[in-house]
Structure 1
Amino acid sequence: MAVYTDVSTDDLSRFLATYDIGDLLSYKGIAEGVENSNFLVHTSQGNFILTLYEKRVAEADLPFFLALMEHLAARGLTCPQPVKNRQGVALGVLAGRPAAIVTFLEGTWMRRPSAKNCAAVGEALAKLHVAGSDFAMKRPNALSVASWRPLFEHAGPRGDDVHPGLCNEIVNELGVLETSWPRDLPQGVIHADLFPDNVFFLGETLSGLIDFYFACTDTLAYDVAICLNCWCFEPDSSYNVTKGRALLKAYQAVRPLSAAERDALPILARGAAMRFLLTRLVDWLSVPEGALVKPKDPLEYFRKLRFHQTVRSASDYGLDA
């Protein structure tokens, strides 16, 4: 979440007047995240989240995201629900951007996740994969392996300004990933961005998942690899195998990984690290002037990538035999 596009009080009031969610009392931008402009909106009927879609989110993909949240909620997952206006439409236009309002979820995200938190995430991710198995809509992953080299080329040689020799390391790793990337593993709906700030807890109980705007149809085990990257490393970039074991055990209790998925986990984890290294690198080098956004450090995922390059089997992540 972030704020790239400002919204005036008058424009927001007119936008809200097309809904039955009360009168505008206050609103504020949400600075966390890097993709869309987000606001916490307080009306006479409660709190809501307003999102203005920009950057990597294509307008044509928005019906997929909104329908997916409705589908998952109908199958028991707690996630934001699109709010429809008086015409029964969930998507509108505000400040020249496609915009939607979704319900507000109670809870906070964990800055320092515990193994128990990781287990809760593993279980929720598996339930998401199972619940999405009969979702009829499809959306290719626009940020999978075929997109990584173009992303790198967009960043250009400036990558070496972020870290000496970074460009050469990325080129070498891209060659490995493009050659070795598995293409015949079980597929379905994945969240693709289930970072700690997209998972809410009330105390130690997981209360909901948010931010489905990278969700797509892709390899299910790749979603697991993304979660290992963003939940199971410590601030010093060391991998916490206790957290990894907790996440994987809880996931498998709901949806067991196949032998092929287990074998592919190290290369999928390398790919997940590369994906976030590259998107963070591009964002780091191209933050719009004046945007209320905190770009995230791309080198965090460079350090994680180096760990994954030493892994020889899924047992190194805590996956029990």
Structure 2
Amino acid sequence: MAVYTEVSDEDLVAFLAPYDLGRVLSLKGIAEGVENSNFLLKTEAGSFILTLYEKRVAEGDLPFFLGLMEHLSARGLSCPQPVTTCAGTALGVLAGRPAAIVTFLEGLSVRRPAQRHCAATGAALADFHVFGEGFALSRPNTLSLGGWSPLFEAARARADGVAPGLCAFIEAELAFLHANWPRDLPSGIIHADLFPDNVLFLGDDVSGLIDFYFACSDAYVYDIVICLNAWCFESDGSYNITKGRGLIDAYRARRPLSETEIAALPVLARGAALRFALTRLVDWLNVPPGALVRPKDPAEYVQKLRFHQRVESPGELGVSA
């Protein structure tokens, strides 16, 4: 989450007029994240999240994201729900951007996940995958293998200014992944961005999953390695295999993994690391002037990618026999 576009009082009042939410009490920008403009909206009806969609979110994809939230909630997953106008519409336009309001979930994200948090997230991810079955819409993953070369081209000329040798490093990794990317894995709807700030906890229990705006159709195990990268590395860059084992075991208890899926984990982990290194690199080089946003350093995911390049078996990531 972030704020790229400011909202005037007059525009906000006009946008909210079709809703039955009462008087606005406050609107506060949320600085975390890097994709959309997000605000904590408080009205006489309660607390909500107001999102203005920017950057990589295509307006045509919004019915998929909003419909997925409704589908998952109906199946039993705790996640935000779109708020509709009195006429029943969930999408509008605010400050020149497509915009929507979703319900606010109670809970806190964890800054330093422990093994128990990783296990709870693995179980919640499995529920997401299982509950997503039967969703009528689909959306290709535009930030998977086919989208990485265009991202690299957008940053190639300035990559070595971020870190010497980065251009050649990424170029070689892209060649490896194109030659070795696993195909025909069990697939369905994945979250694709389940970082610690997108999982809310009340105590040690997951109270909800949020931020569905990278959700898409792809291999389930690709979602697992995104989580391993986001949850199981320590601040010094080392991989915590105990956390990895906890996440994977809890996932497998809800949704078993095939031998083919397990074998694919190391290569997919490399791809997931490269995906976030590339998007962070592009964002690092292209922060809009005056935006209330904190770009994330691509070096973190370059370091994780270097770790995965040395991994020779799924057991090194925490897969139990």
Q: Which TM-score applies when normalising by structure 2?
A: 0.99
How far has the Cα of 1:88 moved from its partner?
A: 0.2
Aligned partners of 1:79 and 1:208 also within 8 Å: yes
1:2-54 per-position Cα deviation (integer Å, ceiling 9, x unaligned):
00000011111121121011210111100000000000001011100000001
1:65-99 per-position Cα deviation (integer Å, ceiling 9, x unaligned):
00000000001100000000011000000000000
SS of the equivalent of 2:261 reads helix
Q: Distance in 2 between matches of 1:227 and 1:166?
A: 24
- Is 1:251 aligned to 2:251, yes or no? yes
SS of the equivalent of 1:134 reads coil
- Is 1:212 aligned to 2:212, yes or no? yes
Unaligned runs of 5+ in 2: none
How far has the Cα of 1:156 moved from its partner?
A: 1.9
Q: Distance in 1 between matches of 2:9 and 2:43?
A: 13
Task: State the match for 2:58 in structure 1.
Answer: 58
- Is 1:13 aligned to 2:24, yes or no? no
Within-5 A mapping of 1:1-321: 1-321=1-321
Q: Distance in 2 between matches of 1:79 and 1:187?
A: 21
1:276-296 per-position Cα deviation (integer Å, ceiling 9, x unaligned):
000000000000000000000
Q: Distance in 1 between matches of 2:277 and 2:96?
A: 30
Q: Distance in 2 between matches of 1:182 and 1:92?
A: 40
How far has the Cα of 1:221 moved from its partner?
A: 0.5
Q: Distance in 2 between matches of 1:164 and 1:236?
A: 21
Aligned partners of 1:17 and 1:23 also within 8 Å: no
Letter in 1 for 2:13: S
Letter in 2 for 1:315: G
Q: Distance in 1 between matches of 2:140 and 2:45?
A: 37
Q: Which TM-score applies when normalising by structure 1?
A: 0.99
Q: Distance in 1 between matches of 2:285 and 2:210?
A: 27
Q: Distance in 1 between matches of 2:69 and 2:211?
A: 10
1:90-139 per-position Cα deviation (integer Å, ceiling 9, x unaligned):
00000000000000001110000000000000000000000111111110
Aligned partners of 1:16 and 1:23 also within 8 Å: no
Q: Distance in 1 between matches of 2:15 and 2:91?
A: 11
SS of the equivalent of 2:48 reads strand
Q: Distance in 2 between matches of 1:45 and 1:88?
A: 17
Q: How many residues align?
A: 321
How far has the Cα of 1:202 moved from its partner?
A: 1.1
Runs of 4+ in 1 over 2 A off after TM superposition: none
How far has the Cα of 1:157 moved from its partner?
A: 2.2
Root-mean-square deviation over aligned CA pairs: 0.6
Letter in 2 for 1:124: A
SS of the equivalent of 2:161 reads helix
SS of the equivalent of 2:47 reads strand
1:156-204 per-position Cα deviation (integer Å, ceiling 9, x unaligned):
2211111110110000000000111112100100000000000001121
